[in-house]
Amino acid sequence: MAVQRPTGASSEGVRKSMQSNRGRDTGPELALRRAVHALGLRYRVSIRPLPAIRRTADLVFTKAKVAVFMDGCFWHGCPDHHTKSATNAEFWAEKVRRNRERDAETDRLLREAGWMVVRVWEHESPSPAAELIAEAVRVAGNKTRI
């Protein structure tokens, strides 16, 4: 007899809602990309900075070795906007804890490989976040030329 893993959804409505969550090209991500592009920066979208590691960055500046991740407030436990789930609270708390742990590991692995990591919360205004990214690309680009 096969044992089924719990889906994590507490109801059919919750399951449908979770399935509709996009993995890329979200509204905040598109706004950030437009703001970065408006500054004249060009980047790759949704690629692995280190192909051997299954971690996909939202924006990647390959020459400067800068990886940008846009973290969702719910999924990554934003200190300002994360809300605890009313249903299946233990499951979601553990999910967010594992996400944050994986984020820290991703940052460490990329830094060890010589990458600069920029993390942006989905609630951040795109223009200031784009300026931060542009500065990181400028600084990292100067390091690669030395």
Total domains, the chain: 1
CB proximity list for 142: less than 8 A, separation 6 or greater: none
Confidence of residue 145 (pLDDT cuts 50, 70, 90): low
Cα distance between residue 65 and residue 43, in whole Å: 11
For the chain, what's the residue count? 146
Q: Range of 98's domain?
A: 23-145
* Percent of the chain scoring above 90 in pLDDT: 67
Q: Write out pLDDT tens, residues 31-89.
A: 999 999 999 999 999 999 999 999 999 999 999 999 999 999 988 989 888 878 878 88
Do the domain assignments include residue 15? no
CATH number at residue 90: 3.40.960.10
Nearest of 54, 97, 106, 51 to residue 75 by alpha carbon: 97
Q: Write out pLDDT tens, residues 5-28.
A: 555 566 676 566 555 566 678 999
Do the domain assignments include residue 58? yes
Question: What tokens appear for 29 in the block?
Answer: 């991500």
Do the domain assignments include residue 52? yes
Kindly report the pTM of this predicted structure.
Answer: 0.82
**DSSP E strands, the chain:** 44-47, 57-61, 66-71, 116-121
Do the domain assignments include residue 11? no
Do the domain assignments include residue 16? no
Q: Write out pLDDT tens, residues 100-138.
A: 999 999 999 999 999 999 999 999 999 999 999 999 999
Nearest of 103, 106, 111 to residue 136 by alpha carbon: 111
Question: What tokens appear for 75 in the block?
Answer: 């999924």
